[in-house]
Amino acid sequence: MTVRTRADLDALPSYVPGGTVPGAVKLASNEVSIGPLPSVVTAIAEAAGQVNRYPDSGAGALVARLAAKLGVHENQVSVGCGSVTLCQQLIQATCTDADEVMFPWRSFEAYPLLTVVVGAKQVRVPVTAEHAVDVDAMIAALTPATRLVYVCTPNNPTGTALHRAELERFVDAVPSEVLVVIDEAYREFVTDADVPDGVEFAKEQWARGRDNVAVLRTFSKAYGLAGLRVGYLVAPEPVIDVVRKVFVPFGVNAVAQAAAIASLDAEAELLARCGDIVAERGRVRAELVEAGYEVPVSEANFVWLPLGERTAEFNEHCLAHKVVVRAFAGDGARVTIGTPEENDLFLAAAKSFPR
Q: What is the pLDDT of residue 6?
A: 72
What is the per-residue pLDDT across 330-355, written as a single tens digit (0 to 9) for each?
999 999 999 999 999 999 999 999 98
Taking the CA of residue 25 as centre, how many other CA atoms within 13 Å lie in the half-sphere pointing to its CB? 23
Question: Please, what is the average pLDDT of the chain?
Answer: 95
Confidence of residue 5 (pLDDT cuts 50, 70, 90): low
pTM of the predicted structure, to 2 decimals:
0.94
Residue 20 has pLDDT above 90, yes or no: no
Residue 116 has pLDDT above 90, yes or no: yes
Residue 145 has pLDDT above 60, yes or no: yes
Q: What is the pLDDT of residue 188?
A: 97
Residue 1 has pLDDT above 60, yes or no: no
Cα(50)–Cα(55) distance, integer angstroms? 9
What's the mean pLDDT in 17-34? Answer: 83
What's the mean pLDDT in 50-77? Answer: 97
For the sheet with 146-152, list strands across it.
77-80, 231-234, 213-218, 179-183, 146-152, 100-105, 121-126
Least confident of 18-22, 40-44, 55-59, 107-111: 18-22
Residue 18 has pLDDT above 70, yes or no: no
What's the mean pLDDT in 308-325? Answer: 97
* Between residues 6 and 212, the one the model is more confident about: 212
What's the mean pLDDT in 24-42? Answer: 93
Q: What is the pLDDT of residue 8?
A: 73
- Cβ contact 297:159 at 8 Å: yes
Residue 4 has pLDDT above 80, yes or no: no
Q: What is the pLDDT of residue 79?
A: 98
Q: What is the pLDDT of residue 30?
A: 96
Cα(166)–Cα(16) distance, integer angstroms? 31
The beta strands (E) that lie in 138-209 are given as 146-152, 179-183
* Between residues 355 and 152, the one the model is more confident about: 152
Query: Parallel, antiparallel, or unpaired: how do β-strands 323-328 and 25-27 relate?
Result: parallel
Residue 167 has pLDDT above 60, yes or no: yes
Can you say whether residue 308 is alpha, beta or left, with left for phi > 0 and alpha for psi between -120 and 50 degrees?
A: left
Query: Parallel, antiparallel, or unpaired: how do β-strands 323-328 and 302-305 relate?
Result: unpaired
Compute the radius of gyration of the chain from its Cα atoms.
20
- Cβ contact 163:198 at 8 Å: no
Q: What is the pLDDT of residue 16?
A: 62
Residue 19 has pLDDT above 80, yes or no: no
What is the per-residue pLDDT across 289-316, written as a single tens digit (0 to 9) for each?
999 999 999 999 999 999 999 999 999 9
> What percent of the chain clears pLDDT 70, i.e. is strictly above it?
96
Q: How far is CA 143 from CA 114, 268, 317, in A?
A: 20, 43, 43
What's the mean pLDDT in 214-230? Answer: 97
Number of Cβ atoms within 10 Å of the Cβ of 206: 16
Cα(325)–Cα(31) distance, integer angstroms? 12
Residue 146 has pLDDT above 80, yes or no: yes
Q: Which of 349, 344, 341, 351 is nearest to 33 (CA)?
A: 341
